[in-house]
Structure 1
Amino acid sequence: MADERTTNGRTTTDEHNTICAVDIEGFGGGDRTRPNYVALREGMYTAVEQAFQRSGIPWDNCYHEGAGDSILALAPSTVGKATFAANLPTALAATLRAHNAEHPPEERLRLRMALHAGEITRDARGVTGTAIIHAARLLEAPPLKEALRTSTGLLAVIASAWFYDEVIRQHTENAPEDYVRFDVSVKETSGTGWIRLPDGARPEPPPRHEIEKREDTAPANGSSVVTVSPVVRPASPEFYQVVDAIEAIPCMQGEHTRSFVIDQLRFAGAIRYFPNRRAHVTSILRTCLDFEDGVVQLVTAISEQEPSGSLPLNRLVSLLGNGA
């Protein structure tokens, strides 16, 4: 049921919609030509439209708009949400495979998809609403990007906490056991998302072990390559010495610059945020130790924000190089 109102001569309509947003992975990367980009966009639209139809979701009854490498589609309340949960993920994976089988590598698609639902407002210029913004933030969540990057498949799906609780987990045909819960923090949005890889399996995370010296991970400002031997153990005295050294670095003292450093890490979404600076730095280091080369990534990201010869950064590198 839609609520229509007129304000200052403009008519708007409020209604509850199922929200589906998709985005092409790595759209701007690679040595692509304009015809390649056209083929990618056309392939995305064709794959999504065909997947909707195969799932029993009438594409022509949905509002949809594109923005370069993404599509926003809204289904009215007359379309059952269960069709998005039970049928759409596998249908879209199938249409993506069909597209890729007929195109060269530079025109092959991998997509991220977000599922949510909520109140939206339509006007003469399109649609808006906090639910749409939330879906867009989910689509940009680092854990979703990382899940697709490390997946063997072509599609990664993230469902909002509401959509998972109220739709997906209610019925076994929605494959609720295939979703994994992640914390999501993107811009103003902080909450929970549930991620599924309908056509691929994410590899097991590598075991935590000694970080080896690598020529390609030298900090950009000329500091020494980072090695940690032995591995710094969480909650050990050495661990807190490293926390002290990180906290003393200027770019890690401000929340904005600290967030910019975190954004450069491939596992940024796994880092738990704390408003207290020391607690946040401690959380960052703990998470880095859980990932292969995590500390190397952190020091490299910090070095890109610090001036050449930064004494606090050099102290950190020295501390790590001596095994803390």
Structure 2
Amino acid sequence: MQSEPSHGVRVKIGGNAHGPVVAGNGNVTHMNTATPEPEVASERGRRADLLAAYRVVVTTDVQRSSSRNNDGQRRMRRALEECVQAGAVALGVPQEVFEPVDRGDGLQVVMPEAVTLVDVLDTFVEGVAKALREHNQAASDAYRIDLRAAVHVGYVDQVGGEWSGTPLVHAARLVDAPEVKHVLGEAGDACLALVVSDAAKHVVDEGYCKVGPIGYRHLAVVVKETSCDAWWRLL
């Protein structure tokens, strides 16, 4: 990483991302002029809104999560948060600014400005995969976690502390690709299926990452209204 992150990491588990992206270069900041409710005024007052913030986004989803009972769901969420925290530690992001929010069986992460695609593909994803392998070695088959993760990059907005934008929607479509679910289900020892968008693949093609283009397989994604190219590899 080039420098210590200047913004906190916001993490959302599950759900659909939505909202427009304001085109432009760099970050445009302003304070939210709306009057918030008194109980949340102090929280929102600590953050400036960001429009057209260029960020790396990561969306994850736990394979076969709906097959777990209540106890299994609770354990899964705790373990998933710990594994993602391990990725943040590997990046050097302080835990006090890393804020996971449990919303189900997956996570959406908007990385700080200083975190690059290379950082995510070489360090964050590898850190998460390492933590997953350690969890699975100690867990029974019933509590094993197999994870799909999609990486994309683009302009997103943060309003009232909440992130939105088409890059988040696109990453959510990539992680739901049926072929990725199938290859992870048949993968044996692999615990993470990584999917990268066409935009994210450029840094791989240019030779910046530890794993080069030969390590990825092409994927034609057709999910809901999304039809695009992507690439995947197993960890």
TM-score higher than 0.5 here?
A: yes
1:182 to 219, 227, 230: 219
1:158 corresponding residue in structure 2: 195
User: Residues 82 and 25 from structure 1, CA distance in 2 versus in 1: closer, same or farther, beyond 3 angstroms?
Assistant: same
Match of 1:69 among 90, 105, 118: 105
Structure ranking higher in strand proportion: 2
Contact 1:23-1:69 at 8 Å conserved across structures: yes
Residue identity in the other structure for 1:79 = V
- 1:76 CA drift (Å): 2.1
Q: Which consecutive unaligned segments of at least 5 residues does structure 2 have?
A: 1-25, 36-47
How many residue pairs are counted as aligned between the two chains? 195
3-state SS of paired residue (1:174): coil
Give the TM-score taking structure 2 as reference length: 0.75
Mapped pair 1:33 → 2:58: no
Q: Could you report, residue by residue, the CA deviation over 1:218-259 in whole angstroms, capped at 9, with x for unpaired residues?
A: xxxxxxxxxxxxxxxxxxxxxxxxxxxxxxxxxxxxxxxxxx
State the Cα deviation string for residues 23-78 of structure 1 (Å, max 9, x = none): 1000011xx43222111110011011102312445555556544200111111221
**d(CA) in 2 for partners of 1:118, 1:60:** 25
Task: Look up the match of 2:39.
Answer: none
Distance between the aligned counterparts of 1:190 and 1:183, measured in 2? 7
Contact in 1 for aligned 2:60/2:149 (Cα 8 Å): yes
Provide the secondary structure at the position in 2 that maps to 1:76.
coil
Is 1:93 paired with 2:129? yes
Higher RCO (C-alpha under 8 Å, 6+ residues apart): 2
- Distance between the aligned counterparts of 1:63 and 1:121, measured in 2? 17
Name the counterpart of 2:89: 53
3-state DSSP of counterpart to 2:65: coil
Shift of 1:107: 1.5
How well do the aligned residues superpose, as a CA RMSD in angstroms?
A: 2.2
Higher helix share: 1
- % identical equivalent positions: 24
**Deviation (angstroms), 1:126:** 1.3
CA distance in 1, matches of 2:106, 2:126: 19
Residue 58 of structure 2, aligned match among 20, 23, 26? 20
> Which amino acid in 2 is paired with 1:160?
S
Is the CA contact (8 Å cut-off) linking 2:49 and 2:161 kept in structure 1?
no
Query: Contact between 2:32 and 2:160, CA under 8 Å: does it hold in 1?
Result: no
1:3 corresponds in structure 2 to: 28
Residue matched to 2:155: 119
Question: Deviation at 1:134?
Answer: 0.4
Q: Which residue of 1 aligns with 2:233?
A: 196
In 2, the alpha carbon distance for the partners of 1:154 and 1:181 equals: 19
Structure 1 residues 27, 20: closer, same or farther in 2, change over 3 A? same
Q: SS in structure 2 opposite 1:181?
A: strand
Contact 1:155 1:197 in 2 (8 A): yes
Shift in alpha-carbon separation, 1:83–1:4, aligned structure 2, 3 A: same
**2:165 pairs with 116, 121, 129, which one?**
129
Q: Which is further off, 2-11 or 142-151?
A: 2-11
Secondary structure of residue in 2 paired with 1:109: coil
